[in-house]
């Protein structure tokens, strides 16, 4: 069932098991049960530290990964292949004694939880946002005996997913009630549970260069700054930024192919080689200037720095039409890789005729019944090769020169209303899902008037990354850079950093 290369890699990983692991399984005779039995037998045959036993579970087929004589509460319902294979391997290794790659502070917070928490995460095996959530909750379950976590493959337990009206993954339930939708970091989970981040950030005096944002631009800026031997900090909600939403990256020169998750892990490892203070899971609220820059976090803590590099990136752009907010995760989606499988055999729409919209429509046409692509302009903006492919598909209709007016439904999305811009006539199409692919918005609202921004909110920088405020530099997708790409963000992060260093020398602050 597993191909030779994966088996070879897995055998190497399984040598890392320090303790015996017991997999308990309950399966029937249906197709998925047989698949799960085959999968687990193959895994068990690869290490004498793994034994298989019968178990009892609420869903069939399911299995749990345990220590001898001690259940961990880590359960997989379905077969964790696709993107969840990594979650399975990590759970196996962590139960088998390999410590999870998280900070001690987080481990302490997880262990301090003193209430019964039973999490269930609904996933699709093609969702690249799901493994992070599954892996976070598995870690919690392994570290704390009061916590359990079940991963449920929505494609196998379709009726349960339909009954719960889940239209986006990952969707997490806690003790039977909705807990979260979409990707959620371990820090956010703990915050939602009220196991709060320590308010105290240990900072020893002001920074020379403080970077805000931990995407490609911010990480590059921090590393360049640290190589100059100055005092550097980086503060970000998460390390990785948009690449955490990217399945496959093939245009970082020198790396033929890498997943976004792995590139983000590399970012963090690379920063740890330098003297950089990494402050994660915090958002900056505002910057004020007196002798130094005062950077206030959302929790009220204030950091000080002689110079600042803003690299807060961008997020998906909304349509801003009635119904969009109401039906988010109930038919309104942004990530085709993640949520596409939830719309299998359904009629859907894609809004946006650029490369990402057309790519999404081509991708979704493979599983959905019918895809309507809507573009505001009279022509699609996507590359010709993508357009050719799109027009060759029998189950796709393209509507150009149209404006989405409203998204309608009762509990879930049911209709999209658009206006034909030439005739001004209003039309309605019946759909169960819409993927919005109309570009990005810079994460700069929090800056107010502090630095000069353009009409769309991007920070205006010169060719040295300098903003309108001396000592404040900016880089990456939050700026008026004409192209938004990883390598471009990394380059502009380096430029901003070298400029900040030059500023420090010249001003001798
Ligand atoms: C689905 C998808 C696929 C893509 N594929 C590719 C590809 O294959 N190749 C390629 O070159 N590019 C790709 N891109 C574009 C690329 O990811 C971006 O150009 C790049 O990530 C921008 O880097 P950045 O550092 O400027 O910003 P971001 O990656 O957006 O990072 C900004 C960071 O700042 C943090 N932040 C924001 N506000 C605050 C605040 N107030 N306080 C603290 N932290 C904050 C965010 O949490 C985030 O971590 C893709 C983008 C997407 C969405």
**Is the pLDDT score of 338 beyond 80?**
no
Q: Average pLDDT for residues 444-470, to the nearest whole number?
A: 97
**Is the pLDDT score of 199 beyond 60?**
no
| Residues 6+ away with beta carbon under 8 Å from 99 | none
Nearest CA to ligand 1 atom 44: 236
Average pLDDT, the chain: 93
Helices (H), 96-129: 104-111
* Cα(86)–Cα(133) distance, integer angstroms: 12
Nearest CA to ligand 1 atom 51: 242
3-state SS, residue 34: helix
Residues making up the chain, counted from first to last? 509
- In this prediction, residue 235 carries a pLDDT of 96
- Crossing angle, helix 84-95 and helix 4-14, to 10 degrees? 20
Do the Cβ atoms of 274 and 227 come closer than 8 Å?
yes
* Cα-to-centroid distance, 180 and ligand 1 (Å): 22
* Cα(12)–Cα(22) distance, integer angstroms: 19
CA 376 vs CA 418, 440, 484: distances in Å: 10, 16, 22
**Is the pLDDT score of 509 beyond 60?**
no
* Cα(505)–Cα(417) distance, integer angstroms: 58
Do the Cβ atoms of 245 and 129 come closer than 8 Å?
yes
Domain 207-315+441-507 belongs in CATH node 3.50.50.60: yes
* Cα(376)–Cα(322) distance, integer angstroms: 17
3-state SS, residue 435: strand
pTM above 0.85, yes or no: no
Q: Which residue has the higher pLDDT, 65 or 199?
A: 65
- Please, which pLDDT band fits residue 5 given cuts at 50, 70 and 90? confident
Do the Cβ atoms of 303 and 210 come closer than 8 Å?
yes
Question: One of 130, 153, 208, 335 is an active-site residue; which one?
Answer: 335
**Is the pLDDT score of 237 beyond 90?**
no
* Cα(370)–Cα(114) distance, integer angstroms: 49
* Cα(301)–Cα(200) distance, integer angstroms: 8
- Please, which pLDDT band fits residue 8 given cuts at 50, 70 and 90? confident
Domain(s) labelled CATH 3.50.50.60 in the chain stretch across: 207-315+441-507, 332-436
Ranked by mean pLDDT, the top range of 49-53, 102-106, 203-207 is 49-53
Write phi, then psi, for 191 (nearest 5 degrees): -65, -45
Tokens representing 114 are 């003193």
Q: Average pLDDT for residues 236-255, to the nearest whole number?
A: 85
Q: Average pLDDT for residues 108-121, to the nearest whole number?
A: 94
Residue 488, number of CB atoms within 10 A of its CB: 17
* Cα(9)–Cα(212) distance, integer angstroms: 38
**Is the pLDDT score of 483 beyond 90?**
no
Of the CATH numbers 3.40.50.10490, 1.10.260.40, 1.10.600.10, 3.50.50.60, which one belongs to the domain with range 332-436? 3.50.50.60
Q: Does the beta carbon of 244 lie inside 6 Å of ligand 1?
A: no
The CATH code of domain 4-192 reads 3.40.30.80
Q: Average pLDDT for residues 418-440, to the nearest whole number?
A: 96
* Cα-to-centroid distance, 215 and ligand 1 (Å): 5
Is 335 noted as a catalytic residue in this protein?
yes
Q: 356-389 burial, b for 16+ CB within 10 Å, e for fewer?
A: bbbbbbbbbbebbebbbbbbbeeebebeeebbeb
3-state SS, residue 235: strand
**Is the pLDDT score of 174 beyond 70?**
yes
**Is the pLDDT score of 172 beyond 60?**
yes
Expressed in angstroms, the distance from the first to the final Cα of the chain is 63
* Cα-to-centroid distance, 323 and ligand 1 (Å): 27
CA angle in degrees (0–180, nearest 5) for 477-83-392: 70
Q: Does the beta carbon of 365 lie inside 6 Å of ligand 1?
A: no
Q: Does the beta carbon of 260 lie inside 6 Å of ligand 1?
A: no
Q: Does the beta carbon of 312 lie inside 6 Å of ligand 1?
A: yes
Domain(s) labelled CATH 3.40.30.80 in the chain stretch across: 4-192
- Beta strand 147-153 with 70-77: parallel, antiparallel or unpaired? parallel
* Cα(504)–Cα(499) distance, integer angstroms: 9
**Is the pLDDT score of 219 beyond 70?**
yes
Is 478 noted as a catalytic residue in this protein?
no
Do the Cβ atoms of 197 and 301 come closer than 8 Å?
no
């Amino acid at each position: 069932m597993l191909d030779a290369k994966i088996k070879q890699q897995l055998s190497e990983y399984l040598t890392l098991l320090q303790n015996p692991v017991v997999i308990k399984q309950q399966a029937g005779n249906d197709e998925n049960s047989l698949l799960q039995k085959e999968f687990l037998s193959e895994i068990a045959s690869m290490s004498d530290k793994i034994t298989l036993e019968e178990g009892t579970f609420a869903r069939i087929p399911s299995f749990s990964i345990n220590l001898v004589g001690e259940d961990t509460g880590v359960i997989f319902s379905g077969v964790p292949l696709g993107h969840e294979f990594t979650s399975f391997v990590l759970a196996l290794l962590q139960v088998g004694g390999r410590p999870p790659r998280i900070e001690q502070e987080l481990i302490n917070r997880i262990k301090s939880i003193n209430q019964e928490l039973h999490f269930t995460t609904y996933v699709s095996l093609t969702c690249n946002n799901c493994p992070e959530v599954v892996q976070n909750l598995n870690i919690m379950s392994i570290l704390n005996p009061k916590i359990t976590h079940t991963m449920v493959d929505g494609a196998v337990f379709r009726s349960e997913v339909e009954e719960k009206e889940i239209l986006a993954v990952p969707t997490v339930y806690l003790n039977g009630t909705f807990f979260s939708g979409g990707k959620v970091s371990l820090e956010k989970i703990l915050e939602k549970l009220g196991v709060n981040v320590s308010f105290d950030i240990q900072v020893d005096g002001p920074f020379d260069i403080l970077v805000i944002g931990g995407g490609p631009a911010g990480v590059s800026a921090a590393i360049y700054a640290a190589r100059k031997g100055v005092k550097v900090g980086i503060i970000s909600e998460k390390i990785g930024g948009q690449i955490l939403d990217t399945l496959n990256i093939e245009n970082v020169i020198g790396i033929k192919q890498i997943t976004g998750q792995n590139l983000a892990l590399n970012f963090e490892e690379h920063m740890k080689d330098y003297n950089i203070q990494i402050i994660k899971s915090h958002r900056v609220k505002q910057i004020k200037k007196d002798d130094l820059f005062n950077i206030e976090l959302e929790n009220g803590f204030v950091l000080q720095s002689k110079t600042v590099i803003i690299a807060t990136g961008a997020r998906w752009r909304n349509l801003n039409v009635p119904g969009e907010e109401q039906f988010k995760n109930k038919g309104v989606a942004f990530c085709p890789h993640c949520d596409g499988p939830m719309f299998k055999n359904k009629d859907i729409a894609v809004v946006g005729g650029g490369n990402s919209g057309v790519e999404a429509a081509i991708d979704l046409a493979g599983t959905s019944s019918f895809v309507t692509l809507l573009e505001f302009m009279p022509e699609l903006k996507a590359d010709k090769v993508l357009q050719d492919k799109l027009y060759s598909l029998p189950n796709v209709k393209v509507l150009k020169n149209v404006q989405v007016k409203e998204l309608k439904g009762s509990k879930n999305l049911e209709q999209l209303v658009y206006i034909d811009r030439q005739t001004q006539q209003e039309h309605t199409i019946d759909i169960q899902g819409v993927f919005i692919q109309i570009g990005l918005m810079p994460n700069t609202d929090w800056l107010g008037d502090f630095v000069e921004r353009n009409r769309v909110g991007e920070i205006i920088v010169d060719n040295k990354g300098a903003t309108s405020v001396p000592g404040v530099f900016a880089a990456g997708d939050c700026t008026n850079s004409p192209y938004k790409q990883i390598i471009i963000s990394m380059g502009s992060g380096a430029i901003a950093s070298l400029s900040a260093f030059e500023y420090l020398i010249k001003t001798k602050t």
